[in-house]
Chains A and B, each alone.
Chain A
Amino acid sequence: MDQQASQAKRVSTSGTSSNRASTAKRSSTNVPKAPTSLDPNAIIANHAVLTGIHTISVAAGTVIHPHARIISTYSAVDIGPGCIVSEKAVIGLSDLSQDDPEGDLELPEIIKIGQNVNIESGTIVEAAEIGENTLIDVDVKLGAGSVIGKNCTISACSVVPPGETVPDYTVIYGNNQRRLNKSLQSTPVILDIKSKGHEKQLNVLQRLVPSNLAKWQ
């Protein structure tokens, strides 16, 4: 599969300027600093990577670990407040040739990540949306344009195919088995406990991860 051809196609479908084709090729060598809108209370590590041409916005309290990559080459990225993006996690569409060889997938205009979402290390997020309080465990792949609901748990190494919608309170576990988290749905106290735990984790990370916002502004 000719990668360049598919990328060119992608550019034409999204209908933007032609200089994108050159920047899209390799983000590591030819990195344009992405336009950003960062909250002063966000924490973005010095070694995090924010590249692309669309706006990357990060809300207050969110912690982005070193070596996490946020790519806005094809669509803007909006990360809500209180999120954790761990190291080696990738948010954004990086290489579309595998997911979408024909280029007929509808791409999200914006990748929207809700409040208090925890994205663990090694995860690839190409989803259009992740609802609040959702946990995405290590090495998960969320396919392009998929929509993950609120309060979901995606267990380690799961794969959500492109374009799929995962309803609220869904647990994906084991060999892509799914179930509804009825306990969480019916007992709001559990959600409070979980939020409290997330809050504590954020609190620790905010002290541990040195922030270098100025580098990305």
Chain B
Amino acid sequence: MAQVFPYTYYSCPCVESSSTKPNAVQSAPQEAAPFLEDEEENTFDPRSPRANFSLYPIEHLLYCTDCHQIRCPRCMVEEVVCWYCPNCLFEVPSSTVRSDGNRCTRNCYNCPICTSILSISSLEKPTEGLTPNDAASDAAKAPGGPYFLSCPFCQWSSLEIGIQFEKHFNLTSQLQKIIRGDTHRLGSVTDLASPRGEEMEGEIQGRASVASVEDTAPLPIQGDTETLFTNLYNFYRAQLSELSDANPYSLSSDYSFASPSSITRLMNLYGSGGRTKKDRPKPIREAAEFSEGQKVSNPLSEKENIDRIRSVGWEGTASVEQRLQQCREDVGFVDELRPLATLLRTKKSKRCKICRQILSRPESKVSTNRYKIKLLALNNIPKITMRSLNAQPAQHPSFPMQATAPGSDEASTLKPLVPTHFLLTITNPLFDSIKVTLATPSTTPGCVKSKVTILCPQFDVGANTDVWDEALSSATDRSSKRQSQMLSAGPDGGSLTGIQAEAGKVWERGRNWTSIVVEVAPGSLPDSIGHVTLGDDAQGDGGAALDEDEDVLEIPIFVRLEYETEAGGDDGGAAHARKEDAGKEKREEAFWAVLGVGRIAG
């Protein structure tokens, strides 16, 4: 962990559930905090391997207002709101995506060399000399053909692979034509007149296939990938239709497990085998010849490739990235690379996996980046921050968040066995004041046992009211008292012990935040890290050496909130109100958080 101390990670409740399968819907927890009951035994260990997957900074978390729980990326389900092309920003209907593939079928192409967007330009020879109304005439008439695709960045152009276009629109269909011309020229067996022919075209064009090059025509028997794909597609389709004709229980018609055909099939599998042998469908065989889409590796072409590498050199061979982008397996040289239709992007909405509530939903219009719904944990869960009390000078109470320089080494390095005071500040984003109860195991889990004491485990935090309320009202009595204490203690701050935090008392309080003191006595490291080789049972759970980052002091802390709010308020789910009492309902929330304090000095 190479992060800056101090940090706070929030634990998503999904760490408790053993499975995150969608069938967890049935076992949706009715309680806000399912692990409240066995709180005593069940301490959260930030070092457990499972915890690793549920700890997030609060900015990364969403909050389900129906379940009243934090939701991490692991317990959300994503849904595609829309597909769009990042270049032309046209939305593509999902039915088109299904039939034509996830690439733009308009005029958007990416450079096969450097992936930047290609532009279409004319090859028309410009008129000689400049006429006075040159600009005007240029604007009036678009340059004539032929056209070609060119990359404004690396200067690649489709001319390098011999592709020109007659029109500057409808590139996809023009490329399609070039493919077909190419396939026919190669004399391969393409059944484009098949009933699926029309669909096949879409398939091919979705795959961003472009004609191959004249001078690099592959061996005739090999055919190119498009032909092979077409042949194989037709072959399997024919096999499947044969199967479904012969057998009503075939796979092709219905995949769902609840369908009658599937049940019958399962009954047959496990049953007494009432069916006779002749009912059994003949097994699906593999493609066996070229017309069926079989590809035979050709030793001759290998030799050819080696010769070609010899002649074109390193510059002439395509890089791994370039080859992977091509969606064709037989590409090895730069002059075989074709322009790539731009991949579509998606906008996704997120739902709670348990109750299906929408947690975030972007506006479906492609050109806006606003959100319709966005339930951030930041707006629903108190923010916990921590900083060292010793390292900080007497400061103005109006700036409670003013911390020591983050990441400064002195501040984040802890001396073993020396009790250190930390200031824990809880900031409330809610519009109701909250009652907070904090709990922490007296010694931290892990092999370095540090003692942690929360001096004031129960306190109130004010509501997130208007900022002006605070500004207009005088400073709260508690903080002014603290300030006067600070002043009396002297400006040097050396006599901080004189105003030492008293147990059970809040350190400082503001409009919607409260600070309390946490005393930490870091445990001593068994030995300097890296030198420990002997197993020391007293030190840890049988671990021989100190693991990586064992010297990081992380405090698991259990946060429990209680507050009263308007029934059926902003969450819109009055059904979930636990206790209705004159329009007010009492809510209770609880979660684990982990405070990373610093590294213990070895």
Contacts and interface: CB of A to CB of B under 8 A. Distances in A.
Interface of A: 153, 155, 171, 173-174, 177, 179-184, 186-187, 189-190, 192-193, 196, 199-200, 203
B532 interface: no
Contacts of B125: 189, 192-193
A179 B154 CA distance: 8
B147 to A, nearest CB: 12
Given A183-B150, A203-B130, A189 B155 contact: no
Interface stretch (B156-164, B277-285, B324-332): B156-164
A77 to B, nearest CB: 28
Contacts of A171: 154-155
B153 A200 contact: no
B123 A184 contact: no
A54 B122 CA distance: 44
B160 A183 contact: yes
B20 interface: no
Given A153-B155, A184-B155, A200 B130 contact: yes
* Cβ-closest 9 pairs across A and B: A183-B157, A196-B126, A173-B154, A183-B159, A171-B155, A181-B155, A182-B160, A183-B160, A153-B155
A50 B135 CA distance: 33
Contacts of B150: 183
Contacts of A180: 315
Contact of A179 (B121, B148, B315): B315
Interface of B: 113-114, 121-126, 130, 134-135, 148, 150, 153-157, 159-160, 315
Contacts of B130: 199-200, 203
Q: Which of A155, A183, A186, A190 lies at the interface centre, i.e. has the most chain B CB atoms within 10 A of its CB?
A: A183
Contacts of B122: 193
Contacts of A153: 155
B211 to A, nearest CB: 17
Contacts of B124: 189
B213 to A, nearest CB: 12
A203 B42 CA distance: 78
A194 to B, nearest CB: 10
A200 B150 CA distance: 20
A173 B124 CA distance: 27
A195 B154 CA distance: 18
B383 to A, nearest CB: 40
6 contacts: A153-B155, A155-B153, A187-B123, A189-B124, A193-B126, A200-B130
A196 B124 CA distance: 12
Contacts of A183: 148, 150, 155-157, 159-160
Given A179-B155, A189-B124, A200-B135, 17 more contacts: A173-B155, A174-B114, A177-B114, A177-B154, A179-B154, A179-B156, A183-B156, A183-B159, A183-B160, A184-B155, A187-B159, A189-B123, A189-B125, A192-B125, A192-B126, A193-B122, A196-B126
Contacts of A199: 130
A85 to B, nearest CB: 21
A180 to B, nearest CB: 7
A196 B143 CA distance: 13
B113 A179 contact: yes
Contacts of A177: 114, 154
A170 to B, nearest CB: 10
Given A181-B155, A200-B130, A173 B114 contact: yes
B136 to A, nearest CB: 13
B339 to A, nearest CB: 13
A207 B140 CA distance: 22
B491 to A, nearest CB: 47
Contacts of B135: 200
Contact of A193 (B121, B156, B160, B315): B121
Contacts of A200: 130, 134-135
Chain A CB within 10 Å, residue with most, of B153, B155, B315: B155
A193 B134 CA distance: 14
Contacts of A182: 160
A171 B334 CA distance: 15
A184 B155 CA distance: 9
A173 B114 CA distance: 9
A90 B345 CA distance: 42
Nearest to B334: A179
B311 to A, nearest CB: 15
A208 to B, nearest CB: 14
A184 to B, nearest CB: 7
B183 to A, nearest CB: 26
A190 B134 CA distance: 19
Contacts of B154: 155, 171, 173-174, 177, 179
B156 to A, nearest CB: 7
B337 to A, nearest CB: 12
A200 B127 CA distance: 12
Nearest to B127: A196
A177 B319 CA distance: 12
Nearest to B135: A200
Nearest to B335: A182
Nearest to A196: B126
B150 to A, nearest CB: 7
A185 to B, nearest CB: 10
Nearest to A156: B153
B2 to A, nearest CB: 25
Contact of A173 (B126, B153, B159): B153
Nearest to A135: B155
Contacts of B123: 187, 189-190, 193
A177 B156 CA distance: 13
A33 to B, nearest CB: 34
A174 B113 CA distance: 11
A148 to B, nearest CB: 15
Contacts of A155: 153-154
B12 to A, nearest CB: 39
A155 B154 CA distance: 8
